[in-house]
């Protein structure tokens, strides 16, 4: 089975520009999560989709971040305008509805997008 795919793997943009990150979850996984790791800190939760609906977006840092999941398949995370403190690695993870006992217990992570704002 194909894993979670994230694009691009790296992005370098100037402060004030816009960047859109994309995540393709495992086919059939209704749950999709975005996480972010700022250098030297822990991976932090940003938001959670169930299909196309935002289940929890309590981790979104501010209104410069916009996540969408039209059609309940892939998701995009747009940062507009980007600031220096937005630099970090953005991870996406997916799981089936109601992670169950067994296997990876639902969460499969992508390799992340390393965003550098200069």
Partner 1 sequence: GQNIDQPTEMTATEGAIVQINCTYQTSGFNGLFWYQQHAGEAPTFLSYNVLDGLEEKGRFSSFLSRSKGYSYLLLKELQMKDSASYLCAVRAGANNLFFGTGTRLTVIP
Binding positions for partner 1, rule: CB under 8 A: 3-4, 31, 33, 35, 40-45, 48, 55-56, 91, 93, 95, 98-99, 104-112
In the complex, least distance from residue 16 CB atom to partner 1, rounded to whole angstroms: 27
CA distances from 51 to 20, 94, 96, 98 (A): 20, 11, 10, 13
| Contact predicate 29/95, CB 8 Å | yes
DSSP structure class, residue 26: -
Nearer to partner 1 (CB atom), residue 105 or residue 116? 105
Kind and range of the H or E element at 23? strand 19-24
Nearer to partner 1 (CB atom), residue 13 or residue 38? 38
Kind and range of the H or E element at 20? strand 19-24
DSSP structure class, residue 80: S
In the complex, least distance from residue 81 CB atom to partner 1, rounded to whole angstroms: 27
In the complex, least distance from residue 111 CB atom to partner 1, rounded to whole angstroms: 5
Nearer to partner 1 (CB atom), residue 36 or residue 79? 36
């Amino acid at each position: 089975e194909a894993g979670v795919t994230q694009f691009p793997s790296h992005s370098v943009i100037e402060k004030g520009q816009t960047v859109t990150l994309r995540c393709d979850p495992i086919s059939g996984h209704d749950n999709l999560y975005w996480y972010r790791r700022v250098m030297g800190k822990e991976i932090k939760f940003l938001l959670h989709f169930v299909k196309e609906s935002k289940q929890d977006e309590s981790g979104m840092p501010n209104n410069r971040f916009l996540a969408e999941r039209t059609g309940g398949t892939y998701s995009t995370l747009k940062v507009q305008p980007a600031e220096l403190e937005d630099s970090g690695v953005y991870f996406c993870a997916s799981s089936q509805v109601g992670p169950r006992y067994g296997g990876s217990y639902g969460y499969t992570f992508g390799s992340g997008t390393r965003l550098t704002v200069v």
